Amino acid sequence: MITKRIIPCLDVRDGRVVKGVNFAGLNDVASPVELAAYYSANGADELVFYDITASAEGRALFTDILRETAGKVFIPLTVGGGINEVSDFDRVLKCGADKVSVNSGAIRNPKLVGEAAKRYGDQCVVLSVDVKRVDGVFRVFAKGGRENTGMEAISWIRSCVEDGAGEIVVNSIDTDGVKQGFDLEMLEKVCDAVSVPVIASGGAGKISDFITLFRTLPKVDAGLAASIFHFGEVRIPDLKQAMKDAGIPARTAV
Amino acid sequence: MIVLIDYGVGNLFSLTSSFRAIGQDVKVTGDPEELKRADKIILPGVGAFRDAAALLRERNLDTAVKQAVKAGTPLLGICLGMQLLFDKSYEYGEYEGLGLIPGAVRPIRDVIPQDLKVPHIGWNPLIMKKESPIFKYVHDGDCVYFVHSYYAADCEEAVTAAAEYGAELTAAVQKDLVFGCQFHPEKSGEIGLRMLRAFCEF
């Protein structure tokens, strides 16, 4: 039986790992290569590298760091950030990424998901979507959560899955950084709408938030978080043990 | 010398990095002549069976692999590389494989309940079926990483490990000196590296 995945997310800017709280006020945390190798050795099931660099120099640096990390980390590696064209898929896949996550790029270029899925396979294309409630409706936000696109989130996700997105990362802006648990209401709506794996993101503050997530929504495949792992507030081996104790299939490190 | 066959199917970056991590030199080559001198051969692969089989044939690597096996060179097929070891595959038609292990590659969809997703993707524990040298440092219940939509069928005698996904799917096989694993050892953390190390030491 497939285990539920625990995925640390590393936001990388200018070669360093940073994590925003509600997407603002970033702090430097650690070296991406070191942090990735640490997670790989300590039971993370997958890693997400998110490139939040704006400049071309930063992008080139990110690609170098990705290659170095992929040479040392032997678990699946997903890369996101700055993915606007099919050539961006090619760029990061050549550096050792296994999957590529698209967000604003898919909003700007509605053909991107379909073209990439055709070329690299559905399993390679991850749709990452930042969602926030606006007047009681789930809306898709772009540009790192700053811009309301006006699109309704569930229909957007469904159309991307039809185009070939093989996996969905649902990041709730409403719960992100608040550490009071995942956005179960939002996640349930997404799980009901699609049949591809759903990854929950935004809101985890403690081990029990993950247990609640997988118990309440057995269709959720993975939980993603950043700072609680980077700052050691939740240790992944402890989390995996707690999941096992709760009867949730989990892979423990060796 | 361990030879990693490069025949234009997929990215060998992670596999070569894995061998580097266990301190093992590998030669990445698509030259059939090099296979004659190899101590061991790794046949990787991702993508469609038909295309991969055609590429092997175009480059005369199919004959070279079979001759090396006949000469007693251990061979490890990984993911699609494992599927290529069998007689044939029913992926989008019917295509001939290397015929080194009796069996056929069939769609997972045909044997699992409708509510389970295809591809079978993620970490799944190994169910050990038979002893095999590649599992010298790997145990029943150790998790490895899978990504596949087809599985090796009709090969019960060769199955050394399986994974449960609505049905027992072939995870690893062995027939004499021919080994195969459906999962990705280069993406299966320490367990995957241990399996590669055991193959190198064998």
What is the distance of C-alpha A1 from the center of its chain? 23
Residue B168 is a catalytic residue: no
Q: List the catalytic residue out of A51, A88, A130, A176.
A: A130
What is the average per-residue pLDDT within A139-164? Answer: 94
The secondary structure of B91-124 as a DSSP string is TTS-EE---SEEEEEEEGGGTS-TTS-SSEEEEE
Q: Say if domain A5-245 classifies as CATH 3.20.20.70.
A: yes
Q: Which two tokens stand for residue B158?
A: 């060769």
Residue B143 is a catalytic residue: no
CA distance B67 to chain A (A): 32
Res A19: pLDDT: 63
A61: pLDDT confidence band, cut at 50, 70 and 90? confident
List the pLDDT tens digit at each of the 202 positions of chain B.
Answer: 999 999 987 778 889 999 999 999 999 999 999 999 999 999 998 888 998 999 999 999 999 999 999 999 999 999 999 999 999 999 989 999 999 999 999 999 999 999 888 889 999 999 999 999 999 999 999 999 999 999 999 999 999 999 999 999 999 999 999 999 999 999 999 999 999 999 999 9
Res A18: pLDDT: 79
Name the residue facing A96 among B13, B143, B147 (closest C-beta): B13
Res A14: pLDDT: 82
**DSSP H helices in chain A:** 32-41, 56-70, 86-94, 104-108, 112-120, 153-163, 184-193, 207-216, 227-230, 236-245
What residue spans define the domains of chain B? 2-201
The answer to whether the Cβ–Cβ distance between B14 and A70 falls below 8 Å is yes
Calculate the alpha carbon distances from B95 to A15, A75, A99, A190, B47 in Å.
Answer: 46, 31, 28, 39, 14
The whole-chain average pLDDT of chain A stands at 90
Question: Chain A within 8 Å of B124 (Cβ-Cβ)?
Answer: yes
Question: Chain A within 8 Å of B125 (Cβ-Cβ)?
Answer: yes
Residue A11 is a catalytic residue: yes
Name the residue facing B13 among A70, A122, A221 (closest C-beta): A70
Rounded CA separation A148/A36 (Å): 32
Q: How many helices (H) and strands (E) does chain B have?
A: 6, 14
The answer to whether the Cβ–Cβ distance between A5 and B18 falls below 8 Å is no
A144: pLDDT confidence band, cut at 50, 70 and 90? confident
CB pairs under 8 A between A and B: 77
Name the residue facing B189 among A71, A75, A123 (closest C-beta): A75
Rounded CA separation A82/A62 (Å): 11
A122: pLDDT confidence band, cut at 50, 70 and 90? confident
Question: Chain A within 8 Å of B190 (Cβ-Cβ)?
Answer: yes
The whole-chain average pLDDT of chain B stands at 95
Answer whether B27's CB lies under 8 Å from B4's CB.
yes
Rounded CA separation A214/A76 (Å): 21
Calculate the alpha carbon distances from B139 to A230, A245, A248 in Å.
Answer: 31, 21, 21
**What does the pLDDT look like over B6-56, one tens digit per residue?**
998 777 888 999 999 999 999 999 999 999 999 999 999 888 899 899 999
**Mutation target vs B (from A7, A42, A46, A74; most B CBs, 10 A cutoff):** A74
- Which residues of B fall within a CB distance of 8 Å from A253? 189-190
Above 90 in pLDDT, residue A25?
A: no
Q: Where are the beta strands (DSSP E) in chain B?
A: 2-5, 26-29, 40-43, 75-78, 86-89, 95-96, 101-107, 120-125, 127-128, 143-148, 150-153, 159-164, 168-175, 178-181
Query: pLDDT above 90 covers what percent of chain A?
Result: 67
Above 50 in pLDDT, residue A130?
A: yes
Rounded CA separation A44/B60 (Å): 41
Put simply, the chain A residues between 187 and 216 with a CB less than 8 A from any chain B CB are: 195-197
**Mutation target vs B (from A2, A120, A125; most B CBs, 10 A cutoff):** A2
Q: Are strands A125-134 and A137-142 parallel, antiparallel or unpaired?
A: antiparallel
Of A30-44, A126-140, A238-252, the range with the lowest mean pLDDT is A30-44
pTM of the entire predicted model: 0.91
CA distance A24 to chain B (A): 33
Q: List the catalytic residue out of B91, B155, B186, B200.
A: B186
Of A22-26, A126-130, A200-204, the range with the lowest mean pLDDT is A22-26
A121: pLDDT confidence band, cut at 50, 70 and 90? confident
The answer to whether the Cβ–Cβ distance between B125 and A195 falls below 8 Å is no
Q: Which comes out higher in pLDDT, residue A117 or B63? A: B63
Torsion of CA B144, B149, B150, B152, to 10 degrees: 10
CA distance A70 to chain B (A): 7
Rounded CA separation B183/A149 (Å): 40
Name the residue facing B143 among A71, A95, A251 (closest C-beta): A251
Answer whether A58's CB lies under 8 Å from A97's CB.
no
The secondary structure of B18-34 as a DSSP string is HHHHTT--EEEE--HHH
Q: Which of B54, B37, B163 is nearest to B108 (CA)?
A: B163
Res A42: pLDDT: 86
**What does the pLDDT look like over A63-93, one tens digit per residue?**
999 999 999 899 999 999 989 999 999 889 8
Q: Which residue of A has its CA nearest to B13?
A: A96
Select from 3.90.230.10, 3.40.50.1820, 3.40.50.880, 3.30.70.270 the CATH code of B2-201.
Answer: 3.40.50.880
Put simply, the chain A residues between 107 and 136 with a CB less than 8 A from any chain B CB are: 121-123
Above 80 in pLDDT, residue A168?
A: yes
Above 80 in pLDDT, residue A30?
A: no
Residue with tokens 């490190």: A253
Query: pLDDT above 90 covers what percent of chain B?
Result: 89
What is the average per-residue pLDDT within A4-30? Answer: 70
Q: Which comes out higher in pLDDT, residue B77 or A18? A: B77
Answer whether A10's CB lies under 8 Å from A47's CB.
yes
Res A23: pLDDT: 34
